[in-house]
Amino acid sequence: MFNLVTRFQAATNQALTASVIITGVVIALTILQLFKDDVWNLQTTQVTNFKPTSNWKYSYQYGSINRKPKENTKLQFNLKTDLSHLFNWNTKQIFIYLTAEYPGKSTGSSNKITYWDKIITNPNDAKLDLKNQKSKYSVYDVEKSFRERNATVRLEWNIQPHIGPLIYGSTEELGQFQFVTNEKK
């Protein structure tokens, strides 16, 4: 009971137990603060002026198989939001992304695509006022064409804390647009 190995094991077990308890308290306090700040309610977010464009691509990088063309779409939009209240003492960074959800090929199914994203590491950079922002990604559908379907736009985010689980959230529907389908060239 009084040898060096036993004392080292007891001290290590006590330190590990204390660190697990402290980590649990930090996670609980972070989640309680996010609920108190009501971070899942971004009423000031506005996404407007949707301008979808589409092109036919023959490259494998754009979804083409066997050199058959695949329709790709991009989106231009305006975004105004303030995400500074998503930051607290345990926030490392926030990953935000603009998604569009549209009906799929089979009845009752839906597809979700990401047009734009950004990583925000500082609360001072969390106020966004983007005008005529072009999408980061050229998106193609699993089908041959988007066929002029309607898409619902949402701004979604992921709060990445220093300690604790990832926290996801999204706005309600911010708007809709219809995919523009160009005829094959």
Cα–chain-centroid distance for residue 148? Answer: 25
pLDDT surpasses 60 at 185 = no
What is the per-residue pLDDT across 5-44, written as a single tens digit (0 to 9) for each?
888 999 999 999 999 999 999 989 888 888 887 777 777 7
Domain ranges in the chain are 1-36, 40-178
Q: Which residue has the higher pLDDT, 181 or 127?
A: 127
The CATH number that domain 40-178 falls under is: 2.60.40
Q: Are 92 and 160 in contact (CB under 8 A)?
A: yes
Name the residue type at position 53. Answer: T
pLDDT surpasses 70 at 62 = no
pLDDT surpasses 80 at 108 = no
What is the per-residue pLDDT across 162-172, written as a single tens digit (0 to 9) for each?
988 898 888 88
pLDDT surpasses 80 at 142 = no
Query: Who's near 93: CB < 8 A, 6+ residues apart?
Result: 119, 120, 121, 160
